[in-house]
Structure 1
Amino acid sequence: MTGQQPPGIALASRPIGRALLWPALAVVLGFLLIYNSFGTSLGLKPPARAVASAPAAPDAVAPADDLVLPRSVPTRLSIMEIAVDAPFTALSIGASGQLDAPPADDNNLVGWFQEGVTPGERGTSIVAGHVDTKTGPAVFLQLSLLKAGSKVDITREDGTVATFKVDSVETFSKARFPNERVYADTPSPQLRLITCGGDYDKKAKDYTDNVVVFAHLDSTKRA
């Protein structure tokens, strides 16, 4: 997925059961998918920010008001509601000034912006995934089906599972993408999940919109 603003990403090794599930879900839900040939950039331009130290993660579930985790690389994303279970890859800003995309031939992979905060740190963490790739439906095919109250689990390298609760799911035109709202620094741990949406523009070889999930850190536990 390419374009002027945040995109989508792909998935890695996936069990046979899920490989069969994605096409079936696409038909049932009425998705009209066009499998794209992705470039090397996601069209995403999130700002980098310095990372401040934070308290260590607790072993047990902690009250939401006290939740701020130290920096730790995310390793796996799980969203049971839409059958997502995918590993992470780190993404950086490329020579084009936009966020580089993960491998286009891997449709079970999500990427996180490694120059920003990690999920659970104070601030806004950016995670992107493809809605489809040139090989078929991908990890964020059903991202738009999430709703307020949905849960997103991110397992981190330090053995902590950070659970985020969805506040809203919104669709924005790439031509009028609200960068400040989506990428703004925040005093509490926030998460943004981003993929493509809207119609597919054959001339531009890109989708017209982006789907953005806004979520906040709700609880933590040990993996």
Structure 2
Amino acid sequence: MRHPRLWPAVTAVVSALGAILVVAFVLAFSPHAPEQVAPPSATPVGIAPSTTTTPSGDGLPAAKPASLSIPAIGVRADGIKDLGLTSGGELEVPGDATTVGWFTGAPSPGEAGPAVLAAHVDYKHVPGAFSRLKDLHPGEQAKVGRTDGRTAVFTVYRVERYAKADFPTDQVYGDTADAELRLITCGGAFDRSSGNYLDNVVVFARLTAVEA
């Protein structure tokens, strides 16, 4: 998975690389051991409280994600883990099958720009939190609970599978004017010789509502 998007720090990087963020985080989730994800090449670039609001182009203030719900594929994850970069400059990956992680170098879900959440498709023979990510369709929703008590509701508009060797970093992590979300996991064929999947599944979604 290639794609860290160093927010304030990434501003300098983004000028050179493009923009970060959902999140080129080429998550190499194997059923055996976690594979490092290469960093993205981009720079990271309020809504009044109410029961449900239509988000503005400015997005929400920063607030860490606390939970993720994707009803269409039965995902419910609490206690979202922070994901940073390894000493080699690669994106960290969750240490178990069911944990969902948020790349802290990118915007938080609901802020302007692309937020990135990642999880395994499977890990050590256990189905991962994102085992059915490829089954999502445009129009379905992902809800991210935030530590400020609001829930950012994202609507899927695109689901893609990319070969890790040709991961489109700019498309996935490139900055966006509005709040968006990237959900990333591994997919495609499993290469037993390397212990890794050959592709990444990436879901693109945009903020369409905010629940208080």
TM range (shorter): 0.7 to 0.9
Q: Which amino acid aligns with 2:181?
A: L
Residue 134 of structure 2: SS of its match in structure 1? helix
Deviation at 1:96, TM superposition (A): 1.2
For structure 2, the residue ranges without an aligned partner over 5 or more in a row are 3-23
Q: Does the Cα contact within 8 Å between 1:57 and 1:70 map onto a contact in 2?
A: no
Deviation at 1:56, TM superposition (A): 4.5
1:38 aligns with 2:34: yes
Residues in 2 aligned to 1:202 and 1:169: alpha-carbon distance in whole angstroms: 26
Which structure 2 residues correspond to residues 1-223 of structure 1 after superposition, within 5 A? 6-7=26-27, 35-39=31-35, 41=36, 43-47=37-41, 49=43, 55-65=46-56, 68-87=59-78, 88-103=80-95, 106-222=96-212
Q: Which amino acid aligns with 1:199?
A: A
Query: Structure 1 residues 70 and 210 mapped into 2: Cα distance closer, same or farther (>3 Å)?
Result: same
Query: Structure 1 residues 77 and 5 mapped into 2: Cα distance closer, same or farther (>3 Å)?
Result: closer
Q: Does the Cα contact within 8 Å between 1:8 and 1:129 map onto a contact in 2?
A: no
Deviation at 1:66, TM superposition (A): 5.4
Query: Structure 1 residues 186 and 5 mapped into 2: Cα distance closer, same or farther (>3 Å)?
Result: closer
Structural RMSD (CA):
2.2
Q: Does the Cα contact within 8 Å between 1:168 and 1:214 map onto a contact in 2?
A: yes
Deviation at 1:207, TM superposition (A): 0.4
Q: Which amino acid aligns with 1:91?
A: L
Percent same amino acid at aligned positions? Answer: 38
Larger Rg: 1
Alignment partner, residue 21 of structure 2: none
Residues in 2 aligned to 1:149 and 1:123: alpha-carbon distance in whole angstroms: 20
Deviation at 1:35, TM superposition (A): 2.4
Number of positions where the alignment pairs a residue of Structure 1 with one of Structure 2: 190
Query: Structure 1 residues 195 and 50 mapped into 2: Cα distance closer, same or farther (>3 Å)?
Result: closer
TM value normalised by structure 1 = 0.79
- For residues 109-157 of structure 1, the C-alpha deviation after alignment (integer angstroms, 9 at most, x for no partner) is 1001111100000001111110000141110000000000010000000
Residues in 1 aligned to 2:178 and 2:57: alpha-carbon distance in whole angstroms: 10
